[in-house]
C-alpha cells in the first residue's frame, strides 16, 4: 500500500503543472475529496433532518446566489474565450501552453476558477433540501455534482488549458443560461411567463454533451501529443451524461406531451358523448 502511494506521488510530481502546484486546493486531492464526501453525507442525511420540519422559503438567498452564479458563469465563459478559444485556439490538436505568458496564465487561472465553481454549485442541492424539493435531488443531479470536482482537479493539476477546456467553455455558457432561468424562477409566479424555454435548456445540455463527444473523440483518430487519457475521460463524461439527460428529457417532456394528448383525446370523446 505504501509503495503504491509513493508511486502515485511520484507520478503526480513528475507530470503535474508546476504553475498550479501551490494554488489553493491543488496541493493534494484530499481536500476536494473530503468536500465531495461531506456533500454526499448532506444529501443522505439532509432530507431525513428536514422530514418533520417546514420548508424554508429562501427567496432572497436564492436570488442572490443565482445572480452570483450568473456572473460567475459569464466570467468563466468569457475567460475561456479570451484565454484561447477566440484568441488563437483551434478545434483540432490544441496543446496546453505551459509557459507563464499572460495568456497562458489567464487560461490556467480560469481553469482553477471553474474547478472551484463546482464546489459552489453544490449549494444547489443544499437549497433543494432546505426547501424540501427532494424530487429535484435525482441520481443524475447528485452524480453530476459529485463527479465534476474529481475530473477537474485532475485537469487543473495536469492540463490547465488547451484541448480539454472546450467542454468547460460550453459548460460555462450552459450554466450562464441555466442560472438566468433559476434567477427568474426565484422571482416568483409573476415571472413564470418568462420561463417558457425550460424545455430548451435540456436540449441545449444534450447539444453540449454531443459536441463534447464529437470534439474529444477526434483525438483518437488524429496524430496529436495531447494526452489521450483526458480526451477519453471527456468523451466518456459526455456519453454518460448524454444518455442520462436524454432519459430525463424523455421522461419529463415526452411523457408530459403524451399525457396532455391523452387528456385532450378524453375531452374530445366526452364532447362526442
Give the list of residues 6+ apart from residue 177 with CB closer than 8 angstroms, or none: 201, 204
DSSP state letters, 242-264:
HHHHHHHHIIIIIHHHHHHHHHH
Label residue 267 by pLDDT band (50, 70, 90).
Answer: very low
pLDDT digits (tens, 9 = 90+) for 87-116: 999 999 999 999 999 999 999 999 999 999
| Distance (Å, whole) CA 77 – CA 88 | 16
Q: Which of 141, 144, 145, 167 is catalytic?
A: 144
| Distance (Å, whole) CA 273 – CA 247 | 38
Domains of the chain: which residue ranges? 30-268
Give the dihedral sign, CA 20/113/32/245: negative
Q: Which three cell numbers stand for residue 187?
A: 422571482
144: annotated active-site residue: yes
The pTM (predicted TM-score) of the whole model is 0.87
**Predicted pLDDT of residue 250:** 84
Q: Return the DSSP state at 133.
A: -
pLDDT digits (tens, 9 = 90+) for 132-172: 998 889 888 899 899 999 889 999 999 999 999 999 999 99
Q: Which three cell numbers stand for residue 252?
A: 419529463
**Predicted pLDDT of residue 194:** 77
Give CA angle at 108 (104, 113), nearest 5°.
145
Which one is predicted more confidently, 9 or 132? 132
Tell me if 130 sits within 8 A of 56, measured CB to CB.
Answer: yes
- Half-sphere exposure (Cβ direction) of 18: Cα atoms closer than 13 Å: 3
Q: Where are the beta strands (DSSP E) in the chain?
A: none
Amino acid at each position: 500500500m505504501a509503495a503504491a502511494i509513493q508511486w502515485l506521488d511520484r507520478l503526480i510530481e513528475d507530470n503535474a503543472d508546476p504553475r498550479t502546484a501551490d494554488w489553493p486546493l491543488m496541493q493534494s486531492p484530499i481536500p476536494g475529496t473530503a468536500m465531495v464526501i461531506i456533500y454526499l453525507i448532506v444529501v443522505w442525511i439532509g432530507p431525513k433532518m428536514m422530514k418533520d420540519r417546514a420548508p424554508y422559503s429562501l427567496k432572497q438567498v436564492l436570488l442572490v446566489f443565482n445572480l452570483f452564479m450568473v456572473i460567475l458563469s459569464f466570467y468563466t465563459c468569457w475567460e475561456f474565450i479570451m484565454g484561447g478559444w477566440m484568441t488563437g485556439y483551434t478545434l483540432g490538436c490544441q496543446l496546453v501552453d505551459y509557459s507563464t505568458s499572460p495568456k497562458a496564465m489567464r487560461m490556467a487561472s480560469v481553469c482553477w476558477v471553474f474547478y472551484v465553481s463546482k464546489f459552489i454549485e453544490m449549494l444547489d442541492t443544499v437549497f433543494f433540501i432546505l426547501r424540501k424539493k427532494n424530487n429535484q435531488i435525482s441520481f443524475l443531479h447528485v452524480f453530476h455534482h459529485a463527479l465534476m470536482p474529481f475530473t477537474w482537479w485532475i485537469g487543473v493539476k495536469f492540463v490547465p488549458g488547451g484541448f480539454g477546456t472546450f467542454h468547460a467553455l460550453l459548460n460555462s455558457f450552459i450554466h450562464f443560461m441555466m442560472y438566468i432561468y433559476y434567477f427568474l424562477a426565484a422571482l416568483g409566479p409573476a415571472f413564470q411567463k418568462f420561463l417558457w424555454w425550460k424545455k430548451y435548456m435540456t436540449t441545449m445540455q444534450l447539444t453540449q454533451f454531443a459536441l463534447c463527444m464529437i470534439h474529444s473523440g477526434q483525438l483518437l483518430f488524429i496524430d496529436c501529443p495531447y494526452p489521450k487519457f483526458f480526451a477519453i475521460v471527456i468523451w466518456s463524461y459526455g456519453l454518460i451524461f448524454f444518455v442520462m439527460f436524454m432519459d430525463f428529457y424523455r421522461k419529463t417532456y415526452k411523457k408530459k406531451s403524451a399525457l396532455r394528448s391523452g387528456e385532450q383525446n378524453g375531452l374530445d370523446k366526452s364532447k362526442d358523448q
